Structure 1
């Protein structure tokens, strides 16, 4: 599935030589901001088996600590990109319906 090497390749493509430096603009990686106050409400979902799980959970915690309304979903037993893997499946339709609910509530 989605590996650490693949993730590194993606970030290198976006950030070039700024990868792993302090020169990465916050707009490219919002979690690098020290102050998250005033950001728009967030809806974060991640598969329990995703390499991003801990990072996403920590970001949600930091948003909440900064007073940002945050809804976090960690889907048990699911990998990164579970939403794509479940297209057409009953579980996939439930996840899609949940996203539509969130978008309508914006």
Structure 2
């Protein structure tokens, strides 16, 4: 299983989306989140921003689902 998150204003956004697409097309389990307005390092630079908190919550939920399998 692979968790991918990326900001919509991230330089690597298209690469992250393409990676997720490749995983899906090859039958792999992947979860992709593209965070609106987020840039590279957004969660480190602005950890208290709503998007950063939402991203952390999404990562935590994914990890919990993975560990509960």
Output the aligned Cα RMSD: 1.3
Unaligned runs of 5+ in 1: 1-40
User: Which of 39, 46, 49 is the matching residue for 2:9?
Assistant: 49
How many residue pairs get aligned? The number is 66
Higher relative contact order (CA 8 A, sep 6+): 2
Aligned partners of 1:59 and 1:91: how far apart in 2? Answer: 22
TM-score (norm 1): 0.56
Give 1 or 2: higher helix fraction: 2
Query: Equivalent residue for 1:20?
Result: none
Q: Which runs of 5+ in 2 are unaligned?
A: none
The structure richer in strand per residue is: 2
Whichever of the two has the greater Rg, that structure is 1
In 1, are the aligned partners of 2:20 and 2:30 still within 8 Å (CA)? Answer: yes
- Tell me how far 1:65 sits from its aligned partner: 0.4
Correspondence list, 1:1-106, <5 A: 41-106=1-66
TM value normalised by structure 2 = 0.82
